[in-house]
């Protein structure tokens, strides 16, 4: 298994994508992950579905509802990671809201995910101010808690948040939710510069990035981008070739 930082080695720009575990059923979502990896993504985000995803737009919300209908639980996310780990060496992180991982048992989750090749957790409803106790536990299992920075984050808090960051920094590139409006290059540039004043940890921009043009443009100012909702939409529409073309092009 490669470490997260290998995705950014030699100034390479990382392409991160996302699979909602259990969307379309466990096996189908696993096949989708294999497809993304084979197409050439550098880092894989595994999504744990949640009934009330406050940071997500319609696409991921609906993907989550489909996954919940298929009775997806935290155990499935662990099993999913284990299978991917056995097949490839791609770095993986898990994106989950706090309640499902809290109910599963945070420490148990860190331990089992770590054993399954997962190196980081993205928890949209766990801001810096509440993260200390969780970080202490995560560290025991070499699990990074990936910090999120918003365009609204003040420089004072950017400094606090990124100071001891590990893995990568998730720059939420729009004021809003996933998969909706297109980010503004100027705003993302400004924030990326602010972050880089205080850390060497790579910065990845996500939320609203959709096309190869977007990727090329934003990669000028960050170290990588996430495409999640757009690919889910294309998958739903059966346009797998288009996903492949975007990833392949990059």
Partner 1 sequence: MKYGEYGGQYISEILMEAVIELEETFTRLRSDQAFIESFNYYMKQYVGRENPLYYAENLSKKCGGAKIYLKREDLNHTGAHKINNAIGQALIAKSMGKEKVIAETGAGQHGVATATASALLGLQCKVFMGEEDMRRQKLNVFKMELLGTEVVPVKSGSRVLKDATNEALKYWAANIEDTHYIIGSAIGPAPYPEIVKYFQKIIGRETLAQHFEHEGKNPTAIIACVGGGSNAIGMFEPFIDLKDVKLYGIEASGKGLHSGAHACSINGGKIGILHGTKTYLLQDEAGQIEEAYSISAGLDYPGIGPEHSYLNDIGRVKYHPISDAEALEAFDILCKNEGIIPALESAHAVAYGLKLAPQMSSSETIVINLSGRGDKDVETIKEYYDEKN
- 52 Cβ contact list (under 8 Å, min separation 6): 97
Instruction: Choose the catalytic residue: 23, 27, 31, 45.
Output: 45
Contact status: 164 vs partner 1 (CB under 8 A): no
Which residues are 43's β-sheet partners? Answer: 16
Nearest to 4 by CA among 45, 43, 47: 43
Nearest to 48 by CA among 29, 34, 35: 29
User: Which C-beta is closer to partner 1: that of 55 or that of 121?
Assistant: 55
State yes or no: is 45 an active-site residue: yes
Contact status: 194 vs partner 1 (CB under 8 A): no
* Element at 194 (helix H, strand E): helix 185-198
Among 1, 68, 70, 83, binds partner 1 (CB under 8 A): 68
Among 1, 70, 83, 98, binds partner 1 (CB under 8 A): 98
Residues near partner 1 (CB under 8 A), total: 41
Nearest to 143 by CA among 177, 83, 206, 96: 96
User: Tokens representing 64?
Assistant: 């989550």
User: Which C-beta is closer to partner 1: that of 14 or that of 169?
Assistant: 169
Least spacing, CB of residue 199 vs partner 1, in Å: 16
Q: Which span sits near partner 1 by CB under 8 A: 15-23, 24-32, 119-127, 221-229?
A: 119-127
The 10 Å CB-count burial string (b at 16+, else e) for 184-209 is eeeebeebbebbbebbebbbbbbbbb
Least spacing, CB of residue 179 vs partner 1, in Å: 12
Distance CA 59, CA 50 (A): 13
Q: Which span sits near partner 1 by CB under 8 A: 23-31, 84-92, 121-129, 225-233?
A: 121-129
- Please list the active-site residues: 45, 56
Task: Give the residues lining the site for partner 1 (CB under 8 A).
Answer: 50-55, 57-58, 61, 68, 73-74, 97-104, 124-130, 148-154, 157, 172, 174-177, 180
């Amino acid at each position: 298994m490669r470490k997260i930082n290998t995705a950014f080695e030699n100034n390479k720009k990382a392409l991160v994508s996302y699979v909602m575990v259990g969307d379309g059923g466990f096996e189908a979502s696993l096949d989708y992950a294999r497809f993304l990896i084979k197409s050439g993504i550098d880092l894989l985000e595994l999504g744990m579905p949640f009934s009330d995803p406050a940071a997500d737009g319609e696409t991921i919300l609906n993907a989550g509802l489909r996954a919940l209908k298929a009775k997806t639980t935290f155990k499935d996310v662990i099993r999913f990671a284990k299978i991917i780990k056995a097949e490839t060496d791609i770095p993986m992180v898990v994106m989950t809201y706090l309640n499902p991982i809290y109910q599963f048992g945070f420490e148990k989750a860190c331990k089992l995910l770590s054993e399954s090749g997962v190196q980081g957790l993205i928890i949209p409803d766990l801001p810096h101010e509440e993260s200390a106790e969780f970080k202490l536990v995560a560290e025991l299992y070499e699990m990074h808690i990936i910090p999120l920075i918003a365009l609204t984050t003040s420089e004072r808090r950017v400094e606090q948040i990124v100071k001891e960051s590990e893995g990568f920094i998730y720059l939420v590139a729009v004021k809003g939710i996933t998969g909706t409006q297109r980010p503004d290059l100027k705003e993302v540039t400004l924030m990326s510069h602010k972050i880089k004043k205080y850390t060497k940890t790579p910065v990845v921009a996500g939320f609203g990035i959709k096309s190869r043009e977007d990727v090329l443009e934003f990669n000028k100012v960050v170290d990588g981008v996430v495409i999640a909702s757009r690919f889910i939409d294309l998958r739903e529409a059966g346009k797998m070739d288009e996903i492949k073309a975007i990833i392949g092009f990059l």
